[in-house]
Chains A and B, each alone.
Chain A
């Protein structure tokens, strides 16, 4: 009995969380009249797919998806490299002022991104990186959060493994590459998914530094659908479904590792 109640609760919560997306999916298949009807139509009379072709015609969504993918992959790769190296230093090496440096590192997480967006814009402009992949990706290639996440995970690796490897003749770089990285796959996967999704969902920064359509990213594309078509909801929703699909696929593939990475180390102080 208790088990059923448990499941019932989970189902209700799942429906609440999924409802907006499911509604968006339904609306994307409705005709323009149905979207404006009251009470709202929850099941369209027939599957209208012209909203999809309209969305693709209004904004070059596919090329925006490609742009977003390229930028997200670059940022993900960059963060994996820089964060794992920084975390390795914080977790395994002994150097002066390590604690203070780490706190300083963490404190950058407290600075709101909006407050540094203007200085960043000027930096990127002076480098002549407006409307470019490097302008979209390089400012995000290091992350205090990612460093923190990986450091916490690295610290759960037994110190004796490091010592055993040292005695076996393993240098620092080799230890990092052949021991730390393979043993930290769950944490690395978590960071990868997190970095990818955050970048994929970026709006403000790409909007600021891109002006040509061939460099814009998906979230701007979605906004374009709303401005150009007034309130043509089925087209907007179709656009949302199109840009969400790649990330949903990614989440399904990475889900197992993600959960493992977020909960790993939670039982160890």
Chain B
């Protein structure tokens, strides 16, 4: 049982705020992903939890016990580093056994634990090798093994997959999910890759410029982004935006932008300048609807087999549509009309960029 609690934790350097004060509770067994662009404060947050960095204010609790100023080694947490940080002059076995040795665990227990962990990670044949004799993927597994043997209360992972090639990254991603299920451990994971966040996290904390933008399950962030930044960060390709204005017309709301007019239904109190957000997967090539239209010119076609990604210019803005490969794709330079499907369309205030409404296309 390991819960983590941040209370008004912040980190301020001489000239800038790396992490603005925030509260966060992480439940036992959760796989929490801290995600955001570089410099957003996610790694600093992780390092404050590890004890390698001291917070400027606030408190951190693990299982209700305050550990804000406790030495890293006494926090009972293990960390997997981006570059693995294996000890170069020790064999795989020694690397994994090191922490246990320092804890004065008896030799026999160390041996059983290391061997068991090595078997779990398929490392048995590599135990006598040195880190420099291993491939990137193997080194990564050793780094994981070194954390697992300690049976820590919390695992911290700082972009552990970013040094792997694309194929191995996808494979290791699933392995990590399985590992989490098996160990049932609390994991705090830092990444800048939204796909890792979406696939692995039971909950995501999305950060930007040291400020938490949204906390929620992957689907909450995908379906109900609280602002334009979250909307544009999650999704592959991410949500697309058109600027324009909305006004009420009878029971409907009309969005008017450059080369674009949409008749929408739903609840919306405000009117005026807004951003309209649509996910590429919710756009289809069509001209059937009389009351709504988005007119664009095709600039790039990316056929990835299962689907086709169509890049369009709508007035002065860019739009991306993801259409099934079965549909006959348009050609570069074609003028096309696209329309949103029944999925929600997100409306963001132009000034604050906060979500103000979720509307639907009117028939």
A residues lining the B interface (CB < 8 Å): 158, 160-161, 163-170, 174, 179, 182-183
Contacts and interface: CB of A to CB of B under 8 A. Distances in A.
B98 A160 contact: no
A165 B52 contact: no
B72 interface: yes
B318 interface: no
A168 B81 contact: no
Contact of A167 (B72, B83, B86, B87): B72
Contacts of B103: 169
B52 A183 contact: no
Q: Top 8 nearest A-B pairs by Cβ distance?
A: A160-B85, A168-B99, A169-B73, A164-B85, A169-B102, A160-B81, A167-B72, A182-B89
B127 to A, nearest CB: 18
Interface residue SS majority, chain A: helix
A22 B238 CA distance: 75
Contacts of A164: 79, 81, 85-87, 146
Interface in B228-276: none
A114 to B, nearest CB: 42
Nearest to B102: A169
Given A168-B98, A168-B99, A170-B98, 4 more contacts: A165-B87, A166-B72, A167-B77, A168-B73
Contact of B88 (A166, A168, A170, A183): A183
Nearest to B103: A169
A166 B86 CA distance: 13
B50 A158 contact: no
B78 interface: yes
A170 B102 contact: yes
Question: Which among A158, A168, A182 has the greatest number of chain B C-beta atoms within 10 A?
Answer: A168
A60 to B, nearest CB: 45
A254 B362 CA distance: 83
Nearest to B81: A160
A145 to B, nearest CB: 26
Interface in B69-112: 71-73, 77-79, 81-89, 98-99, 102-103
Given A163-B52, A167-B79, A158 B102 contact: no
A109 to B, nearest CB: 31
A179 B102 CA distance: 13
Contacts of B71: 166
B170 to A, nearest CB: 25
Nearest to A182: B89
A158 B83 contact: yes
A174 B84 CA distance: 21
A182 B85 CA distance: 16
B307 to A, nearest CB: 40
23 contacts: A160-B85, A161-B87, A163-B79, A164-B79, A164-B85, A164-B86, A166-B71, A166-B72, A166-B73, A167-B50, A167-B51, A167-B52, A167-B77, A167-B79, A168-B98, A169-B99, A169-B102, A169-B103, A170-B98, A170-B102, A179-B87, A179-B89, A183-B88
B99 A160 contact: no
Given A168-B73, A169-B73, A170-B73, A163 B102 contact: no
A167 B73 contact: yes
A227 B78 CA distance: 70
Given A158-B83, A160-B83, A167 B89 contact: no
A170 B71 CA distance: 11
Contacts of B81: 160, 163-164
A233 to B, nearest CB: 51
Given A169-B73, A169-B102, A170-B73, A163 B88 contact: no
Interface in B102-139: 102-103
Nearest to A159: B85
A142 B77 CA distance: 40
